[in-house]
């Protein structure tokens, strides 16, 4: 099986989307890019994450062609490949419809540095302009909002997109930004949240580089 390891990881993390409540049903999508092969493994369209098997994961090139697999790829494949084409530091993309991030996206707001964990993304979480799902326009809007500076963006009236150097990092970024989105919603319901200064967020980003068992 071509790219068996990547397929198994996409399947595993797709299930984690459901188990952690980051999405429901078939919402969202996940991909992993093998830069040496120039190919990405991406979730199929419209199949429940708990039912997806490794062979259902679709292998595509960066021109949008299916190289291996008999299922239709996620309709959002453009939103994945645009990052693989333009950012050498990105090897995985996670898109979710998590409730708090999506709530804020429906207001077309950014998430400010209400908590230091926003630094998983950057000094804030930007919000991309709306476009119909599954279109090159949405992919372009997502990349424009995130650029090379951020590791996540809200998608207006849609959801959350996160990227990372590997699937574990991309998933952790989506998970932590959803946590921060919930904090932002709850603090806004009580009063006006205190936002951390840019200098503190830069310091946190530096500390993250040596966090854990690296």
Cα 65–chain centre separation: 22
Helices (H), the chain: 4-19, 77-86, 99-106, 136-146, 167-190, 198-208
Looking at residue 210, what is its pLDDT? 77
Q: What is the pLDDT of residues 109-133, one digit of tens each?
A: 999 999 999 999 999 999 999 999 9
Structure-block tokens of residue 120: 């998983």
Chain mean pLDDT for the chain: 96
Structure-block tokens of residue 15: 């299930």
Check if the beta carbon of residue 53 is closer than 8 Å to that of residue 184.
Answer: no
- Active-site entry in 5, 6, 55, 76: 76
Looking at residue 1, what is its pLDDT? 86
Mean pLDDT for 159-173 is 98
Structure-block tokens of residue 148: 């090379």
- The question of whether 76 is a catalytic residue gets the answer yes
3-state secondary structure of 211: coil
Looking at residue 209, what is its pLDDT? 82
How many Å apart are CA 85 and CA 90, to the nearest integer?
9
Buried b (16+ CB within 10 A) or exposed e, 35-57: eeeebbbbbbbebebeebebebb
Looking at residue 213, what is its pLDDT? 66
Ordered by start, the domain boundaries in the chain are: 4-208
Looking at residue 212, what is its pLDDT? 67
Domain 4-208: assigned CATH number: 3.40.225.10
């Amino acid at each position: 099986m071509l790219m068996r390891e990547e397929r198994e990881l996409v399947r595993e993390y797709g299930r984690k989307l459901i188990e952690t409540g980051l999405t429901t049903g078939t919402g969202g999508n996940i991909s992993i890019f093998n830069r040496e092969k120039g190919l990405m493994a991406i979730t199929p369209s419209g199949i429940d994450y708990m039912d997806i098997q490794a062979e259902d994961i679709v292998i595509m090139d960066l021109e949008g062609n299916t190289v291996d697999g008999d299922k239709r790829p996620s309709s959002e494949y453009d939103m994945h490949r645009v990052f693989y084409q333009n950012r050498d530091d990105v090897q995985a993309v996670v898109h979710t419809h998590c409730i708090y991030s999506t709530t804020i996206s429906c207001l077309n707001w950014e998430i400010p540095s209400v908590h230091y964990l926003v630094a998983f993304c950057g000094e804030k979480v930007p919000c991309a302009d709306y476009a119909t799902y599954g279109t090159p326009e949405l992919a372009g809007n997502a990349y424009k909002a995130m650029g090379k500076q951020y590791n996540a963006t809200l998608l207006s009236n849609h959801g959350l997109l996160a990227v990372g150097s590997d699937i574990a990092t991309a998933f952790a970024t989506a998970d932590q930004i959803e946590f921060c989105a919930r904090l932002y919603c709850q603090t806004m319901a009580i009063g006006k949240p205190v936002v951390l200064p840019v200098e503190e967020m830069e310091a946190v980003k530096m500390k993250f580089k040596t966090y854990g068992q690296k």
